[in-house]
Amino acid sequence: MKGPHNIWRLVRTGATFERTGAMRVVLDAVEAPPTLRAAARVLAWPFKWLGYEGDPAMPPVTRALSALGPAYIKFGQVLSTRPDVVGEELANQLRVLQDKLPPFPVEAAKAQVETELGVKVDEVFSEFSPPVAAASIAQVHKARLAETGETVAVKVLRPGIERAFRKDIDAFWLAADAINFLSPASRRLRPRDVIAHFEGVVNGELDLRLESASASEFAANTVDDEGFQLPEVVWGLSGRRVMTMSWAEGVPLGDNEAIDAAGHDRVALSERVLQLFLNHALRDGFFHADMHQGNLKVAPNGDIIAYDFGIMGHIDEYTRRVYAEILYGFIRRDYRRVAEVHFEAGYVPSNQDVDEFARALRAVGEPIFGMDSTRISMGRLLNYLFEVTERFGMQTRTELILLQRTMVVVEGVARSLNPHMNIWSVARPVVEQYIKTSIGPRAALRDFAKTARVMARFGPRLPGLVEEALIRQTQGLADELESKWVRRLGWGIGGLISGAGITLILLSIF
């Protein structure tokens, strides 16, 4: 339940960071100014004794996030892929949050399998190992099917995980309301919309039936992708709290020493992981949105294997085209076009100056080109980007949150494999190919054909709609009719009718 009682949760968050020593580590990692350091310590210190102690064997930040719960652990997983933002040492510490958290007993896992699937574990599986990986929401067991002898991975949700996430999200809602109230300037970031988006993602991740469906759709989209493979879902042994898939054998993508020992090319892997993500996002509009090292392996043949499909991203075709044009503009260093796309898509208010915005974007992009990633401070770059968005009144686009977050994670994974990688040169061929096929005359013809098919379905109803429009207009209800037409037919139908466009379209189809 959302309400003031969640103040306690937020207080304990700050207190936990102070008690575990994580507060100082985080402030050092982000190079916080002295005033912020002083304010944070003064506010948190009196409540230090209220914080969770956590596991003293863990490093401070990992210890704090683990003690606070699954939503905080998710945040730590993202930071673990960004050594350029939080530093190499802290990033390495946070990687244990990906799949090396304390597991729950194997007996509890077996009990959940039997309850969920209605079968005896010993009858279905000839082997059922202790947990081989434990993350914030679930843990995985290696098992062998009694009937076929196939090795599979059995994913089981943590007991009580739904309630734990509910507590975290409720506290986040309170934090969003506090930000809206105390900092009017921050409302453009739409904190409530961000939390609503996060809540939807989490609710989907807590139902493994949805994850199984996502895995199946993702596999269908990527079946022809070279150098990429996915485990298969065993539908008969999957449900809401249990998911069974074929076992993915390979080297963890985050273990560079093991990758080198296996003879794999890390430079090629770094480029492939970034290009695969861009292909899935732009070409399919459906992408793996949790692509940290804990969810990726390298198969013996060098293929990249992805698993854990609890968080998948979806973007519509229009948004894909906007995103591609922005990326392409940066790649070509055409900052004026990048600025225009932002205005055309409504990302920047129309009362702002497009030329000034283009110059601000140039200040972001120019320092990147011609440099390898070891010379780019992503922390400073992100700070400047935030200043730019604030200056020009850009609001948070909730439909792009998952895409932007995943891009940050994937870039971090790629750079961990090859610190000298230039993301722009690697991204260029993928973006150019998408631009060729999705933007231009051919794309316009395809769009027109799709529109024609939709309009054709309304053919028999058009006379009645026109008659209804005339009647309602005479009754002074034109505004209501306009809204109804927008819902039914989309913008522009009036112009099509008056220009006899409908007749031409129907003739071309029939």
Residue 122 among the catalytic residues: no
User: d(Cα 309, Cα 218) in Å, to the nearest integer?
Assistant: 9
User: d(Cα 408, Cα 184) in Å, to the nearest integer?
Assistant: 27
The answer to whether 53 and 104 are in contact (CB under 8 A) is no
| Active-site residue, selected from the candidate residues 284, 290, 353, 479 | 290
Which tokens belong to 237? 């042994």
Instruction: Tell me the CB-side half-sphere exposure of residue 172, using CA atoms within 13 A.
Output: 22
User: d(Cα 248, Cα 260) in Å, to the nearest integer?
Assistant: 19
With a CB cutoff of 8 Å and minimum separation 6, the contacts of 419 are 372, 373, 374
Residue 174's Cα: distance from chain center in Å? 23
The answer to whether 305 and 298 are in contact (CB under 8 A) is yes
Beta partners for residue 286, in sequence order: 314
Which tokens belong to 320? 């894909």
The amino acid occupying position 235 is W
User: d(Cα 165, Cα 163) in Å, to the nearest integer?
Assistant: 5
- Helix 70-79 crosses helix 60-68 at what angle (to 10 degrees)? 140
User: Which active-site residues does the annotation give?
Assistant: 290
